[in-house]
Amino acid sequence: MALNGKQKKLLFTNLVRAHALDRMMMRIIRAGKMVGFYHEGGIALAPGVAAGSFLRQDDAMNPHYRAHGLAHMIGKGVDLRTYVAEHMGRVDGCCKGRSSFHVSFPDHHIFGWSGNIGANFPPCIGYGFAARYRGTDQVVMNCSGDGSYQEGRAHEAMLMSANWKLPHIFWCENNGISQSTAASETFPVQDVSRLAATFEIPALIVDGQDLFACGEAALKAIAHARAGKGPFFVELKTYRSQEHNVGGLNNEGAVTRDPKLMQEWRETLDPVALAAAKLIKQRLYTADEIEQIKADAEREADEIELFCEASPKATPSIDELMNGVYAQ
Amino acid sequence: MALNGKQKKLLFTNLVRAHALDRMMMRIIRAGKMVGFYHEGGIALAPGVAAGSFLRQDDAMNPHYRAHGLAHMIGKGVDLRTYVAEHMGRVDGCCKGRSSFHVSFPDHHIFGWSGNIGANFPPCIGYGFAARYRGTDQVVMNCSGDGSYQEGRAHEAMLMSANWKLPHIFWCENNGISQSTAASETFPVQDVSRLAATFEIPALIVDGQDLFACGEAALKAIAHARAGKGPFFVELKTYRSQEHNVGGLNNEGAVTRDPKLMQEWRETLDPVALAAAKLIKQRLYTADEIEQIKADAEREADEIELFCEASPKATPSIDELMNGVYAQ
Amino acid sequence: MNAKGQDKMSTTREITLGDAMKEALAEEMRRDEDVFLLGISIRAGTFLYTKGLVDEFGGKRVIDAPLAEPGNFGVAYGAAQEGLRPVLDWMYAGFSYFAGSEVFLQSGQYHFLHGSQHPLPLTMIGTCGVGRRVGNEHATLPYGALIHHPGLKVCLPSTPYDAKGLLKSAIRDNNPVFFLWHTSLMATKGHVPLEDYVVPLGVADVKRAGSDVTVLASGLQLHHSLKAAEALKDEISVEVIDPRSFEPFDLDCLLRSVEKTSRLVIVDEDYERAGFAAEVCALMMEKGYDLLDAPVKRVCHPNMPIPGGYIDAYSMPTPDRIEAAIREVCR
Amino acid sequence: MNAKGQDKMSTTREITLGDAMKEALAEEMRRDEDVFLLGISIRAGTFLYTKGLVDEFGGKRVIDAPLAEPGNFGVAYGAAQEGLRPVLDWMYAGFSYFAGSEVFLQSGQYHFLHGSQHPLPLTMIGTCGVGRRVGNEHATLPYGALIHHPGLKVCLPSTPYDAKGLLKSAIRDNNPVFFLWHTSLMATKGHVPLEDYVVPLGVADVKRAGSDVTVLASGLQLHHSLKAAEALKDEISVEVIDPRSFEPFDLDCLLRSVEKTSRLVIVDEDYERAGFAAEVCALMMEKGYDLLDAPVKRVCHPNMPIPGGYIDAYSMPTPDRIEAAIREVCR
Ligand SMILES: Cc1ncc(C[n+]2csc(CCOP(=O)(O)OP(=O)(O)O)c2C)c(N)n1
Ligand SMILES: Cc1ncc(C[n+]2csc(CCOP(=O)(O)OP(=O)(O)O)c2C)c(N)n1
Ligand SMILES: [Mg+2]
Ligand SMILES: [Mg+2]
């Protein structure tokens, strides 16, 4: 499905914002102000931006945990101040400073993830089930990495969503690695989307560095699911050009990945630069406009950071916490 | 792989024995002498017999729980008296009367199953792993029903065994139903063996009522795995012509299955009769010889029953039991 | 057995525990279109309480699930987050361990960890209980493990009246509730009113009044305890309390009783170590120490896997073992 | 901290708990070719104790596993049944709930239910512990849940000496052993002998002698308890006991101590309800009631999911809370 100019601009703006925020998150964690982990997005933000930019508020989404769903949730329209505040353990955090990085935005049908990779699959069956049960045309955008598809839970989700023709989009951001293990070490075949064929789920393989290719795939998948045609699988080939988590290792097995190769990826595969060049060529933006978008994104990130700094650390009493274990 | 006459005779004899024992188990449970469940084999014993008849003692096997692995274990050469005694909760039971129907024969590399369908998959990866680790040419015969392949654990086993090229035979006895739910209700595609293609595991689909077709498939799968060529998938189409478990329902959803259809299956799809006809036609056995084999099998079953009746009920003291929780 | 509740109701009849469960399900499904039922082979009714429901409510609301426990959990969990009120039937409660992370950690943590802002109205049903000769996974009573993990509610009825009332409470609750029932009690009969009623979670029930010793017991063990109490009636006056739910747990009711009796026996069919009975011992240490004239005694399944065969009949607490324990604490 | 064991050894040096674990793994792998190590990204060494092992032992024996917890369990379980001695690293112990049925039920039941005829030499390793600000699955201490399920052995060291000795015992044991280590103690240093030694499972260690009150604590909480004891040293003489393993549990050592002190505080970082601390309360009821001058007190993680953010620093037991509890039982 071809993108129109407005859609391209939206995607680009969201990608630039995601990029600025990912940098800001890196500043915060390096300054020791973040609680818990951060798993940098780096040059792998385009798939997430595309996944989120064309969804409705009532579409359910499980954001990929990489970049902690930042790219995904930007398009979804959540309040990013409370997202970052949560990462900083502040009272204004979207989960009152309790969730670490497992943020949730129930009004946006983003219900928060758990610490287990692969735990995204079962709930997403439920979101699709609920849509079908109620007869709505909501879709489910289920984003996760290649590693998560090794979990048996992925099989169950594909099987069940195919069986019930649920509006379930499997959005697999394949960077060819899980933590410190190359996919070739643990996954017997090249393309994760092969799994879809078993269940007759239509699948696309997309260049995850090409923002607009990702956007087109998202439109196609969403249209398919929204029309009641059942699940859809999109595999987006991308790269991890830095360590798994901030302060962690950047290894494949026992071997550190070649820093030169990483550097080369960052230089040649930067989705912002690639998309900007296209937009300029297509005369949708001038170079100046692009600089303005970047400056706006930086300002947004700075404002969010300031807001969060000003928010007090969340240290509620045990009594208050105990009152929150059960819903009324 | 074509079967020679000796192999055909072995298969047939084992099938007749399995059949006689399945009948005997039915007598025992109806007489209230069995502890726990029995899931009748009925006309679905040929795949199991084929799975077990060509294995070595040191090949690992997970028998399908249907007919409680009876058909599978006959060929494997276990002591059937202790098998039946275990089902009757006797001191001579292979697990001292503690396991109900989850029998084990560690000397035969049959380590017993658990009560959860799908729990067979993870351990079988381990058996294959151990063979590879030690550099032996043992194979793993992993038998279970179509329903078990809905579990995510099946996906993990196929993925891992394909990845490590383990000598793991996925032996799927597909009777198109799980408990009271037709496969068409829960499984989105026709053939379970489609799952194998994803991982480039070679697969065969076999008529599970044709004993010799099952046997050929077993030879082929075993040769493949033993030669170090990695996992192999065999799907054996068969039928459940009776209730799920003795005293349980014989339903598909809310509807009782048509007793006439069941009766027709029993009459036209009986693997013993089909195989006998072929053997006679091929002049491998005379009708008289076949009657003799059946009579021997009946006698074997009767002797086992007598042995078990004579064995005292296992009612050890709690102290004795508590001493057996941990191995030395 | 006391008949609390029934008195106020105009009409009662004797039905089985299974039928009481079926009524609870049917009534709640009639009341609220968002309630649906999912489980393996529930249309046919592996256990009778789901049999026939598909005829009234259709295949949309009574769903035969695949053999995929984590996936089935996900249907219920995700649908509950989306505002539906799923009832997930595990068949045997022990099967839920196949989705261990989801059941023990994720379901109870969701509400709290995400800022106590969004409910999770999720009911799970599973049968359990020793004595059916089939051993471990088919017998495991998971309540000791479940209550260890915060955020879940867990109950186990001993009568049809309680079964119906607790199951209705569970379905109306905005939290994950694991409704357990004991396989051996499915056909147990008892009075159940025709009118709508609930048994709230967290309210224990004095099933037999007494003054010398308190016995706390659930499910089948409530009946074993009543037997023991009856056998002892000429010697020792035994009060038998049914907690009905393990979490929330009605400690006040227990303390009121022990205030009177000064002695406590806890009967628990679950594995002994670090289970519900241990927790009650600890609570008695903390809140009831001065009430006690003798140490609390546990009568549990010993710390060994639940065996099959003829052994489980005496590996679980029996009326005899309970009687002996009562005598011991009353010495 | 006491230096038991080291005295007898000729040479000791100070190393971290992580290095002690690595030595245990390397020595046992050298000793026995049947020992191998499987886990997600262990070749690189997400945690330092596996880093470099692949260089010595090769990819055959140090295996990067897929993201497939039930499958990975199966490798270890099946290989152990075939006679190998697998060590399965879960990374975070909370991830093992993804294979809940296998870990909680199947591993512990295998030997017993099948007639106690065949061993299962299976070691599992997982990190746990509150206070790293990441919340539930990454923090969950599964020992309360693990010991509830019969057939497993479970330990958690507080020092490098114990870590090395317990891990070696675990690998040599013919039963499934879950070796837990506390994330916050990875870099803790302590004396470890050069000679081969083991710390047997089921032998507690008096880490500080005292006479007024006994404190039972493990892992990080052992250190918190020692801090509390030190802070109180001019007022109250505190004996601090490290059980080292929860199952088998060295009740005799505890009873000997309480015989002397008559008072007991149990510090447990795990969820309070129906956990290890509750079990010890119950055992004190049953076996130590007459020894007590005051009710046993628990200091645990409250019954709420382990939160992330700044909260976990005080939701877990702290030296202050332990001090207050000690004062309370000594009143
Ligand atoms: C059940 C479980 N196993 C292991 C981990 C540890 N872990 C965290 S992220 C990760 C890698 C995930 O890889 P992938 O899904 O490919 O995402 P990527 O980081 O490559 O984007 C692993 C193994 C976990 N969190 N949960
Ligand atoms: C984890 C788990 N879920 C459900 C069950 C209940 N159950 C026992 S047998 C069975 C059907 C299995 O079907 P299939 O694998 O096709 O074997 P078949 O009986 O058809 O030969 C079910 C659902 C179980 N034992 N374990
Ligand atoms: Mg990846
Ligand atoms: Mg079947």
Helices marked H in chain B:
5-30, 46-53, 70-76, 80-87, 121-134, 152-164, 183-186, 194-198, 211-226, 259-268, 271-281, 287-310, 318-322
Tell me, in angstroms, the distance from the centre of ligand 1 to residue C176's CA.
27
Claim to verify: residue D24 and residue D154 sit in the same structural domain: yes
Sheet-wide strand order for D35-39: D62-64, D35-39, D85-92, D123-128, D177-182, D153-155, D245-247
Q: Are residues D33 and D154 in the same domain?
A: yes
CA distance C220 to B245: 25
Residues of B in contact with C308 (CB under 8 A): 35-36, 89, 97-102
Buried b (16+ CB within 10 A) or exposed e, C114-127: bbbbbbbbbbbbbb
Establish, for the pair of chains B and D, how many residue pairs have beta carbons separated by less than 8 Å. Answer: 140
pLDDT at res. A2: 93
pLDDT tens, residue by residue, C188-226: 999 999 999 999 999 999 999 999 999 999 999 999 999
Contact criterion met (CB < 8 Å) for D305 and C101 = no
Alpha carbon of B48: minimum distance to chain A alpha carbons (Å):
26
Closest-lying ligand 2 atom to the alpha carbon of residue B175: 20
Tell me what pLDDT residue A113 has.
87
**Are the beta carbons of D305 and C136 separated by less than 8 Å?**
no
Nearest atom, ligand 1, residue A240 CA: 20
User: Using one digit for the tens of pLDDT, what is the confidence trace for A296-306?
Assistant: 999 999 999 99
Model confidence band, residue D11 (pLDDT cutoffs 50, 70, 90): confident
User: Does residue C200 fall inside a structural domain?
Assistant: no
| pLDDT reported for residue A114 | 86
Residue C198 lies in a domain: no
Cα C247 versus chain centre, distance: 10
User: Is the Cβ of D109 closer than 8 Å to some Cβ of chain C?
Assistant: yes
Contact A321 D308 (CB under 8 A): no
SS3 B135: coil
Both tokens of residue D118? 């065949």
Nearest CA in chain B to D69: B156
DSSP state letter for B248 = S
* Beta-strand pair C177-182/C153-155: parallel
Tell me which chains share at least 3 CB pairs under 8 Å with chain D. A, B, C
pLDDT above 60 for D5 = no
Residue D67: domain span: 7-193
Mutate which of B100, B179, B195, B235 for ligand 2 pocket (most atoms within 8 A of beta carbon) = B179
The 3-class SS string of D88-150 reads EEEEEHHHHHHHHHHHHHHHHHHHHHCCCCCCCCCEEEEEECCCCCECHHHHCCCHHHHHHCC
Task: Clarify whether residues C89 and C220 are in a common domain.
Answer: no
Let me know whether D112 and D214 are in one domain. no
Nearest CA to ligand 1 atom 13: A178
The pLDDT of residue C2 is 42
Query: Looking at the structure, do residues C46 and C179 belong to the same domain, yes or no?
Result: yes
Contact A71, A18 (CB under 8 A): yes
Q: How many domains are there within chain C?
A: 2
Average confidence (pLDDT) over D199-212: 98
Cα(A251) to centroid of ligand 3, in Å?
13
Question: Among C152, C168, C193, which residue terminates a domain?
Answer: C193
Q: Under an 8 A CB cutoff, do C71 and A153 touch?
A: yes
Which residue has the CA at smallest separation from atom 22 of ligand 2?
Answer: B179
CA distance B184 to A163: 9
CB contacts of A187 in chain D (<8 Å) are 66
Same domain, D210 and D188: no
- Name residue C210's amino acid: G
- On whether both D156 and D77 belong to a single domain, the answer is yes
Q: Looking at beta carbons, which residues of chain A come within 8 Å of B153? A: 152
Same domain? D276 vs D136: no
Residues of D that are catalytic: 138
D85 Cα: distance to centroid of ligand 4 (angstroms): 35
Tokens of D137: 């699955």
CB contact under 8 A, D279 and C274: yes
D66, B156: Cβ pair inside 8 Å? yes
Per-residue pLDDT, averaged over D114-134, amounts to 97
Whole-angstrom CA distances from D265 to A165, B191, D160, D215, D252 are 56, 60, 25, 5, 16
Write the ipTM: 0.98
Does a structural domain hold residue D200? no
Assign A4 a pLDDT band (cuts: 50, 70, 90): very high
B121, B122, B241, C83, D63 from D72: Cα distances, Å? 11, 7, 37, 35, 11
- The domain that holds D302 is classified in CATH as 3.40.50.920
Mean pLDDT of C27-42: 98
Nearest Cα of chain B lies from the Cα of A141 at a distance, in angstroms, of 21
Calculate how close chain C gets to B150, using CA atoms only, in Å: 5
| Residues D301 and D316: beta-carbon distance below 8 Å | yes
Cα of D208 to ligand 3 centre, how many Å?
47
Give me the pLDDT at residue C91, please: 98
The bound ligand whose nearest atom lies closest to the alpha carbon of B174 is 4
Say which residues have a Cβ less than 8 Å from residue D111's Cβ, sequence separation at least 6. Answer: B324, B325, B326, B327, D118, D119, D120, D151, D175
Average pLDDT over chain C, rounded to whole?
96
Residue of D nearest to B105 (CA): D114
Structure letter (DSSP) for residue C158 = S
Q: Which residues line ligand 1 (CB under 6 A)?
A: A 66, 115-118, 144-148, 173, 175, 177-179, 240; D 40, 67, 69, 91, 95, 98
Q: Rg for chain D (alpha carbons), in Å? A: 19
Among left, alpha and beta (phi > 0; psi -120 to 50; other), residue D178 is beta
- pLDDT tens digits for B216-273? 999 999 999 999 999 999 999 999 999 999 999 999 999 999 999 999 999 999 999 9
Residue nearest to atom 20 of ligand 1 (CA): A178
Judge if C281 and C301 occupy the same domain. yes
The domain boundary residue, chosen from D146, D167, D193? D193
Digit-coded pLDDT (tens) for B105-140:
999 999 998 899 999 999 999 999 999 999 999 999
Closest approach of chain C CAs to the CA of B315, in angstroms? 6
D218 and D319 within one domain: yes
Report pLDDT digits (tens) over C83-117: 999 999 999 999 999 999 999 999 999 999 999 99
Stretch (H or E) spanning A206: strand A203-207
Encode pLDDT of D44-85 as tens digits.
998 999 999 999 999 999 999 999 999 999 999 999 999 999
The pLDDT tens digits for B268-316 are 999 999 999 999 999 999 999 999 999 999 999 999 999 999 999 999 9
CATH code of residue C142:
3.40.50.970
Answer whether residue C107 is part of any domain: yes
Question: Is the per-residue pLDDT at D3 higher than 80?
Answer: no
Q: Which residues of B touch D62 (CB under 8 A)?
A: none
- In this prediction the pTM is 0.98
Label residue C10 by pLDDT band (50, 70, 90). Answer: low
Q: Which residues of A touch B151 (CB under 8 A)?
A: 152, 156
Asked if the structure places residue D1 within a domain, the reply is no
C293 touches chain D (CB under 8 A): no
C-beta neighbour count of C189 within 10 angstroms = 14
Same domain (yes/no): C76, C171: yes
Which chain A residues have any C-beta within 8 angstroms of a chain B C-beta? 150-156, 159, 162-163, 186-189, 194-195, 197-200
Alpha-carbon span B33 to B22, nearest angstrom: 15
Q: Is the peptide bond before C86 cis (omega within 30 degrees of 0)?
A: no
Q: Which ligand 2 atom is nearest residue C67's CA? A: 3
Residue in C140, C277, C304 closest to D282 by CB:
C277
Pairing relationship of beta strands C123-128 and B203-207 according to DSSP bridges: unpaired
Which of the residues of C are catalytic?
138
User: Which residue type, as a one-letter code, is found at position C266?
Assistant: I
- C304 falls within a domain: yes
Residues A144-153 have a mean pLDDT of 98
Same domain for D229 and D170: no
End-of-domain residue from the set D130, D164, D193: D193
Torsion of CA B193, B196, B201, B203, to 10 degrees: 10
Check CB contact under 8 Å for B253 and C44: yes
| Token pair for A305 | 């950071």
Beta carbons within 10 angstroms of residue A196's beta carbon:
23
Average pLDDT along chain B:
97
Secondary structure class of A239 (helix, strand, coil): coil
B66 C-alpha to ligand 2 centroid (Å): 9
Residues in chain A: 328
d(C-alpha A281, C-alpha A285), whole Å: 8
pLDDT band at C8 (very low <50, low <70, confident <90, very high): low
Instruction: Using an 8 Å CB-CB cutoff, list residues of chain A that contact chain C.
Output: 60, 93-96, 98-99, 102-104, 106, 109, 111-112, 114, 116, 119, 121-131, 133-134, 152-153, 156-157, 159-160, 163, 321, 323-328
Query: Which is the closest atom of ligand 1 to the Cα of A178?
Result: 13
Quote the ligand 3 centre to A255 CA distance (angstroms). 17
Among C35, C37, C63, C116, the strongest candidate for a mutation testing the A interface, having the largest count of A CBs within 10 A, is C116
Examine residue C1 and state whether it is found in any structural domain, yes or no. Answer: no
* B131 neighbourhood in chain D, CB within 8 Å: 82
Is pLDDT above 70 for C3?
no
Using an 8 Å Cβ cutoff, are C155 and C128 in contact?
Answer: no
Distance, CA D152 to ligand 3 centroid (Å)?
Answer: 34
Q: For residue C6, what are its two tokens?
A: 């029934």
| Residues of chain B that touch chain A, judged by Cβ-Cβ distance less than 8 Å | 150-156, 159, 162-163, 186-189, 194-195, 197-200
Q: What is the pLDDT of residue D9?
A: 59
Residues of B in CB contact (< 8 Å) with D are 60, 93-96, 98-99, 102-104, 106, 109, 111-112, 114, 116, 119, 121-131, 133-134, 152-153, 156-157, 159-160, 163, 321, 323-328
Per-chain residues with Cβ under 5 A from ion ligand 4: B 145-147, 175, 178
Per-window interface: D 29-58 vs C, CB < 8 A: none
Examine residue C164 and state whether it is found in any structural domain, yes or no. yes
